[in-house]
Amino acid sequence: MIMSHNFYKKYKKEIDRFIDQALIEDIENLDHTSKACLDDDLISSAKLDVKEDCIIAGIDLAEKIYCKIDSSIKVTPFSRDGNKLTKGSIAFTVKGPAKSLLASERLVLNCMQKMSGIASLANHFNKKINHTNCKILDTRKTTPGFRYPEKWAVSIGGGYNHRMGLFDAIMVKDNHVDFCGGMEKALIKIKCYLDKSKFKIPVIVEVRNEDEIEIVMGFPWVKRILLDNMTPSKLSEKLSYINNAFETEASGNINSDNLIQFAETGVNFISMGVLTHSAKNIDMSLKAL
């Protein structure tokens, strides 16, 4: 799938770093079990069985993990990231030195089970609101060390990525405003910071009431207004006040049951932490052929 390849191309350094660190964590410098009972020249094959319906995600990542651990491993995919697979499907087969296949087995499964769960949930949410122009965003509520694969999975499932971290956007939340002494003071300081540093990064501002909205609207360089923890009716009211002068985003207490109501308000984006922190892993296994 194009979006899967594009994500890796954009974040190659970060994904490669994740693979290196994950292999160190799991193997360190030796797999004692395989070393003890397998011959170095033993070549084996295995298949990845999908045990429940899902949107498959992580095939591209699995290929890169195998290549990193042993370039002689050959992966034969029977699907692509983003495809819907049914229970009993085989996502790919893999052939290579048995020691290398076993050393990488758990990392491949951990990544694909989690990523497929996230992609499936993102796809589910996206389908519910595809009659609107609203887009589903992920958040920074990710597993430490696993953020890039998780956000990769969101994009595979049809969702969109919010900022990757604290380094690629400015997002002003309630504590920033309160610590700074008010919304206007915070935005004036941010403008000075951006002018001095010459950083060209988006600015997203969370608001709590119409007074804060009015202040933000006096700073036209702000990219997006974030309306947090509002009911759909209250959100509609605030969107009417903003009147499409800024991009808008809703978050907080949004779930599968009320998602359509929020999307139908006309808000541009809905951010949902549940995408990454609560997606259920998809059952899979890697079995010898």
Span 38-71, pLDDT tens digits: 999 999 999 999 999 999 999 999 999 999 999 9
DSSP secondary structure string for all residues of 18-56: HHHHHHHHHHTT--HHHHHHS-TT-EEEEEEEE-S-EE-
pLDDT on residue 199: 95
For tokens 């509520």, name the residue: 141
Burial class of residue 227 in the structure, from the number of CB atoms within 10 Å of its CB (0-12 exposed, 13-18 middle, 19+ buried):
buried
Query: Residues 14-46: pLDDT tens digits?
Result: 999 999 999 999 999 899 999 999 999 999 999
Spatial separation of the C-alpha atoms in residues 263 and 126, rounded to whole Å: 10
Output the six-digit token pair for 238.
Answer: 């605030």
128-277 CATH pick, 3.20.20.70, 3.40.50.970, 1.10.150.20, 2.60.120.620: 3.20.20.70
Q: Using the predicted structure, report yes or no on whether residue 159 has a pLDDT greater than 60.
A: yes
* Sequence spans of domains, the chain: 2-117+280-288, 128-277
CA R_g for the chain: 22
**Of the CATH numbers 3.90.1170.20, 3.40.1260.10, 3.30.1370.140, 3.40.630.10, which one belongs to the domain with range 2-117+280-288?**
3.90.1170.20
Q: 288 forms bridges with which residues in the sheet?
A: 46
User: Tell me: the pLDDT tens digits for 230-280?
Assistant: 999 999 999 999 999 999 999 999 999 999 999 999 999 999 999 999 999
What confidence category does residue 3 fall into, taking pLDDT thresholds of 50, 70 and 90? low
Q: Which residues of 140-151 are buried (b: 16+ CB within 10 A; e: fewer)?
A: eebeeebbbbbb
**Over pLDDT 90: what percentage of the chain?**
97
CA angle at residue 82 from 78 to 86, to 5 degrees? 60
Its pTM surpasses 0.75: yes
| pLDDT at 29 (0 to 100) | 85
